[in-house]
Amino acid sequence: MKELDDLRLLVESRFPVIVLETWEESRALAVLRRLAMEEGRAMFRWNLVDGLMRDDLQGTPAFTSTAAPEAVLEHIRKSDQPGIFALCDFHPFLEDNPRVVRLIKDIGQNHESNGHTLVLVSHAVDIPREISRMSTRFQLSLPDERQLLSLVQDEARDWQRRSGKRVRSDRKTLSRLVANLRGLTREDARRLARGVIVDDGAISESDMPSVNKAKFELLDMQGVLSFEYDTSRFSDVGGLANLKDWLGNRRDAFIDPDGVDAPRGILLVGVQGGGKSLAAKAVAGMWQLPLLRLDMGAVYNKFFGESERNVREALQLAEEMSPCVLWVDEIEKGIASGDNDGGTSRRVLGSLLTWMAERKAPVFLVATANDISRLPPELIRKGRMDELFFVDLPSPAVREDIFRIHLRLRGHAPDAFDIAALAENAAGFTGAEIEQAVVAGMYAARAREEALADAHLLSEIQATVPLSVTMAEKIAELRQWCHSRAVPADSAVSAEEVRRVPAAR
């Protein structure tokens, strides 16, 4: 085992303290037990309930009066028998306890004479600065795809023995399940695979969203990152034909690069309410991948360095969730250039740029922005983003599609309405404004105890002042900037039509 060789190297390098962070305590102890046997050293195990005992000799009782953390360290310090001492769940006793820290420091400073190696086994350990120079960290390896496949097959065989039935699945779905289990420990992956199988005796596409959600919860990064359970289909997004074609051509290259460079990400710039966020969700739905949303507002912390740490931990979790889509909404609000925050935004930007350039894991970045002028040029250059798409106001044909989508979603037959007339009267409306016109029309019809009709929708359209009117100057400036710098996500609305919008109100 490579992890056994790596651990042996640390022990032979004479590190007095080894921090082993893992959720798999039993597996960690098994690796330490094997190492001690091969090295001819005694192996001891401690926890707060049982105290200190020999772990490599069965049936040996615990040493007396060693359950307390200070007592066990005193025992180890006075012991003249070299050994490996696994201290399980010792992390709470390192905080604000100078006597415990001093005892560990004494044991470490006498390592050359006593030969003691302390291994702190826990899910997370913060090492005090006093002993940081004499400690090192070690992690158990996570299972690779071959091991995960074997694990799933073991669970399928076990279910077949108990039920007398074969597990229903196919090669493609099985491969997707294995890919979605990457980044988990063996036991966590086994539990998720078992849950999928025992539910209905099958491994199917419908199981993937729940597997991804459970995986995200196990990896535990609530707040900064959120898991978007429901991802939109591109059939729920009106227009964006160029973007849909671009993504369709690159889906297979992202899922299975096979010698080609996998696509890395896109930036969607456009009018507020134009469908950028919905499109970001739809990428994950189209590619059948989990969608993570990075909340830039939750990244920032008042303590120095914590904001950058939040970003690094969030990006690391995204890699552990890979293959996935990472959605950063309104990215300009989190990394806009400027020095009025003590340089925090620049450091956050630096962490993000480094990850964008160096990441190897299949994480497709979808960033959206409303104000391109607030973004630093190093973020939007080619190489970090594959393409910059401009999401303009919807054209007449796209407005018709959007009306049909929102009427259908709310249980109304689009053929019962004059869609062309509604789209004509909604010139200059964004997708979000069209949706709200449909919702408001339904409220009006219900208040009058009438069936929804064209008149209700037209009345709401005429009463609405769209963003293209209230923010006409900014939209014109944005359109001019994107004209030669971005790829249109769809056929652009004509300038003449935009000029007609105020008169139509």
Q: What is the pLDDT of residues 49-71, one digit of tens each?
A: 999 999 888 878 889 999 999 99
Helix axes 25-39, 2-12, angle to 10 degrees: 60
Q: 115: Cβ–Cβ under 8 A, 6 or more apart, which residues?
A: 41, 82, 83
DSSP code, position 374: G
| Residue 154 in this model has a pLDDT that exceeds 90 | yes
Mean pLDDT, residues 185-213 taken together: 87
pLDDT-based confidence at residue 498 (cuts at 50, 70, 90): very low
Q: Which residues pair with 222 in a beta bridge?
A: 225
Helix (H) or strand (E) holding 499: helix 495-504
Alpha helices in 40-185 (DSSP H): 69-78, 98-109, 111-114, 129-132, 145-163, 171-180
Q: Following CA atoms 286, 287, 292, 294 in sequence, which dihedral angle do they give, to the nearest 10 degrees? A: -80
The helix/strand/coil state of 79 is: coil
pLDDT top residue among 502 and 224:
224
CA distance 443 to 421: 21
Structure tokens that stand for 182 in this block: 């990457």
Mean pLDDT of the chain: 84
pLDDT at 208: 83
254-268, 302-316, 358-372: least confident range? 302-316
Q: Which residue has the higher pLDDT, 42 or 237?
A: 42
Largest CA distance in the chain: 93
pLDDT classification of 449: cutoffs 50, 70, 90: very high
Per-residue pLDDT for 331 more than 90? no
Helix 495-504 to helix 472-483 angle, to the nearest 10 degrees? 170
Give the pLDDT confidence score for residue 53 in this predicted structure. 92
> What is the CATH class of 234-391?
alpha beta
Question: pLDDT band at 5, cuts 50/70/90?
Answer: confident
Q: Is the omega angle on the peptide bond into residue 394 within 30 degrees of 0, that is, cis? A: no
Q: What is the C-alpha to C-alpha distance for residues 454 and 441, in angstroms, rounded to an integer? A: 9
User: Which of 3.30.420.40, 3.30.2350.10, 3.40.190.10, 3.40.50.300 is the CATH number of 2-138?
Assistant: 3.40.50.300
The mean pLDDT of 210-238, rounded to a whole number, is 73
Q: Are 254 and 260 in contact (CB under 8 A)?
A: no
3-state secondary structure of 20: strand
Residue whose entry in the numeric block shows the structure tokens 């990215």 = 331
Q: What is the pLDDT of residue 485?
A: 81
Residue of 505, 421, 418 lying closest to 466 (CA atoms): 505
Nearest to 210 by CA among 225, 229, 231: 229
Q: Rounded to whole angstroms, what are the CA distances from 216 to 15, 182, 447, 463?
A: 34, 11, 43, 44
Q: 447-482: buried (b, 16+ CB within 10 Å) or exposed (e) per residue? A: eeeeebeeebbbebbeebebbbeeebeebeebbeeb
Percentage, residues of the chain above pLDDT 90: 33
- Calculate the alpha carbon distances from 423 to 133, 408, 413, 419, 498 in Å: 69, 16, 16, 6, 14
pLDDT digits (tens, 9 = 90+) for 239-297: 788 888 898 888 888 877 776 788 889 999 888 887 888 888 888 888 888 888 887 76
Burial 19-37 (b: 16+ CB within 10 A, else e): bbbbebbeebbebbbbbbe
Distance CA 301, CA 285 (A): 32
CB neighbour class for 126 (10 Å; exposed up to 12, middle 13-18, buried from 19): exposed
Confidence check: pLDDT of 379 > 70 = yes
pLDDT at 343: 67
- Going by their DSSP bridges, the two strands 83-88 and 135-138 should be labelled as unpaired
- Of residues 46, 44, 16, the one with CA closest to residue 113: 16
Say how far apart CA 405 and CA 418 lie, in whole Å.
14
Q: Residue 452's pLDDT is what? A: 94
